[in-house]
């Protein structure tokens, strides 16, 4: 019933107005799935390769579609993804592009779920699915690669860990986003938004901490549950490899000073989550930082691990970080995405499912977060491409 009978690819828009790949997959019984590939601005060196959309579509049509149509069953996700790997024949999807691969992989999963008449999270969940839902991490102030002339730290995140439901958590993050705007207005700091919908004021990192902390405190008083603060430092974007320092404007920090700085921030602001605090090649630095702060804070590797099992294996053997950011387009297939989640779980690392800065209305990651019982999901707070995931989480919660 799930034999793949048709795969179609097209160019569509992402949230930045750039082209991305959309895939449709149909099965012999009429099952249908559609998915779109996201795109990152702050990308790790070791991510699977996103090709220009025209090249990705042409490569997939020539190499992948003949291996899929009439040859594999959407009900077996591993078969679809193995066919994509075989069609590409490289480690980084440099022939068909990770953007074509991940769109087809996700569309295939949706087609299989459609045949079953089941929601995608149930099709993907297997033995993972627990009875909890992820806490959304909401980007409320941002800079770095997501916004010019704003903070050096890329994302200041609200984490409503005390929320009694996904729905309450989502609306709490929206309230923090609104409270940040009020704080900015009071200080005469008019500003626009970055790629993910976070406010992008022209302030230093210290001022941003004060603004977000005040907003969180205001919303906590209103909602009556705990909201913590998290960061995505995106340190690889700050790192000057030639000088071996992290550049915060005119100020520089060597690796030891960067570890001290992050430790101080964790202690001062009671941070629950710190993503990419060090360069993507500094496994040893991650070990030192993780040992220093213990398990009270999620030290999350994004550029460090890039959803790659081999890099995660190295990290877990060393004790570098204690959680991993999971982005399907970093590795190119859902099967390998779940492999990374499984390896993380076996080694006591928490998986954090994430969107990208260049997003679409696709809601696959909402289902993936629920299916894998992930403790957190990064989705942003506002904007249709972000709220698509958030609203889907609310639907899942109401129907679970």
Task: State the catalytic residues.
Answer: 196, 327
Distances from the Cα of 377 to the Cαs of 114, 169, 356, in angstroms? 24, 11, 12
- Note whether 320 and 301 are within 8 A (CB): yes
Please report how many Cα atoms fall inside a 13 Å half-sphere around the Cα of residue 361, on the Cβ side: 4
The phi and psi torsions of 276 (rounded to 5 degrees) equal 45, 60
- Note whether 50 and 56 are within 8 A (CB): yes
Distances from the Cα of 167 to the Cαs of 124, 136, 174, 297, 360, in angstroms? 22, 10, 11, 24, 21
Whole-angstrom distance, CA of residue 375 vs CA of residue 239:
29
- Note whether 329 and 356 are within 8 A (CB): yes
Q: In 3D, which of 328, 380, 334 has the Cα closest to residue 47?
A: 328
Look at residue 218 and give its three-state secondary structure: helix
Neighbours of 309 (CB within 10 A): 15
Whole-angstrom distance, CA of residue 21 vs CA of residue 140:
28
Between 334-346 and 98-116, two packed helices, what is the crossing angle to 10 degrees? 90
Whole-angstrom distance, CA of residue 74 vs CA of residue 1:
9
Beta strand 228-232 with 155-159 is antiparallel
Look at residue 247 and give its three-state secondary structure: strand
Whole-angstrom distance, CA of residue 305 vs CA of residue 45:
10
Residues 6+ apart with CB under 8 A from 36: 12, 14, 20, 21, 22, 23, 103, 360, 361, 362
């Amino acid at each position: 019933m799930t034999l793949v009978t048709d795969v179609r690819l097209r160019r569509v828009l992402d949230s930045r107005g750039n082209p991305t790949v959309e895939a449709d997959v149909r099965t012999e019984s009429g099952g249908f799935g559609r998915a779109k590939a996201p795109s990152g601005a702050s990308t790790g060196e070791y991510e699977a390769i996103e090709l220009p959309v025209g090249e990705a579509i042409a490569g997939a049509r020539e190499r992948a579609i003949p291996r899929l149509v009439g040859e594999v069953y959407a009900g077996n996700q591993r078969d679809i993804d193995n066919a994509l790997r075989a069609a590409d024949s490289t480690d980084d999807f440099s022939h068909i592009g990770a953007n074509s691969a991940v769109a087809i992989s996700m569309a295939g999963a949706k087609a299989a779920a459609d045949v079953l008449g089941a929601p995608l999270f149930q099709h993907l969940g297997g033995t993972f699915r627990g009875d909890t839902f992820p806490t959304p991490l909401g980007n409320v102030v941002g800079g770095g690669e997501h916004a010019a002339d704003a903070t050096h730290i890329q994302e200041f995140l609200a984490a409503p860990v005390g929320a009694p439901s996904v729905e309450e958590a989502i609306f709490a993050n929206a309230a923090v986003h609104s409270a940040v705007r009020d704080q900015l207005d009071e200080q005469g700091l008019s500003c626009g938004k970055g790629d993910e919908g976070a406010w992008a004021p022209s302030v230093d990192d210290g001022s941003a901490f004060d603004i977000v902390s005040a907003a969180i405190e205001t919303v906590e008083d209103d909602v009556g549950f705990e909201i913590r603060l998290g960061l995505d430092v995106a340190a690889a974007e700050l790192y000057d490899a030639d000088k071996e320092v992290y550049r915060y404007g005119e100020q520089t920090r060597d690796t030891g000073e960067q570890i001290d700085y992050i430790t101080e921030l964790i202690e001062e602001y009671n941070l629950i989550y710190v993503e990419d605090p060090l360069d993507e090649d500094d496994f040893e630095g991650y070990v030192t930082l993780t040992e220093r702060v213990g398990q009270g804070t999620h030290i999350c590797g994004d550029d460090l691990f890039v959803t790659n099992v081999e890099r995660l294996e190295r990290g877990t053997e060393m004790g570098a970080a204690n959680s991993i950011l999971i982005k399907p387009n970093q590795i190119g297939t859902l099967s390998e995405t779940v492999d990374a989640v499984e390896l993380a779980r076996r080694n006591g690392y928490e998986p954090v499912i994430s969107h990208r800065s260049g997003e679409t209305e696709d809601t696959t990651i909402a289902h993936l977060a629920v299916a894998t019982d992930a403790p957190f999901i990064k989705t942003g707070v506002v904007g249709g491409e972000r709220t698509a995931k958030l609203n889907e989480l609310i639907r899942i919660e109401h129907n679970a």
